[in-house]
């Protein structure tokens, strides 16, 4: 991972908290999943039960990114945040 990519990712993370409008739920899930993939890698957690709808949606969004490299997830995160500004 290049220092430039990490710097731009950190800036995008900061910018994500100051967006003019709150993104819709599918976009929020994508932001969450890309962040988790970029910072933690593939989802190794147990799948939440049916009763925890929010946790299950987050788990599934992150799980869909399995195999995506940290660098690729960071770049997608940066691109997504920039598209929302």
DSSP the chain: --HHHHHHHHHHHHHHTT-SSPPPHHHHHHHHHHHHHHHH-S--SPPPPTT-HHHHHHHHHHHTTTT--HHHHHHHHHHHHHHH-
Q: Give the structural domain span for 35.
A: 3-84
Q: How far apart are CA 23 and CA 6, in angstroms?
A: 23
- CATH number for the domain spanning 68: value is 1.20.80.10
pLDDT of residue 6: 96
pLDDT of residue 83: 96
Tens-place pLDDT, residues 45-57: 999 999 999 999 9
Considering only CA atoms, give the Rg of the chain. 13
The share of the chain scoring above pLDDT 90, in percent, equals 95
The number of folded domains in the chain is: 1
Backbone φ and ψ for 42, nearest 5 degrees, come out as: -60, 145
pLDDT of residue 61: 98
């Amino acid at each position: 991972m290049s220092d430039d990519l990490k710097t731009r990712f950190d800036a995008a993370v900061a910018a994500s908290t100051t967006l003019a409008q709150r993104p819709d739920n599918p976009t929020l899930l994508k932001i969450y999943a890309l962040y988790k993939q970029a910072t933690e890698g593939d989802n190794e957690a147990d799948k939440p039960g049916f009763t925890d709808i929010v946790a299950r949606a987050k788990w599934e969004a992150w799980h869909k990114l399995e195999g995506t490299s940290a660098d690729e997830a960071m770049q997608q995160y940066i691109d997504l945040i920039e598209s929302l500004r």
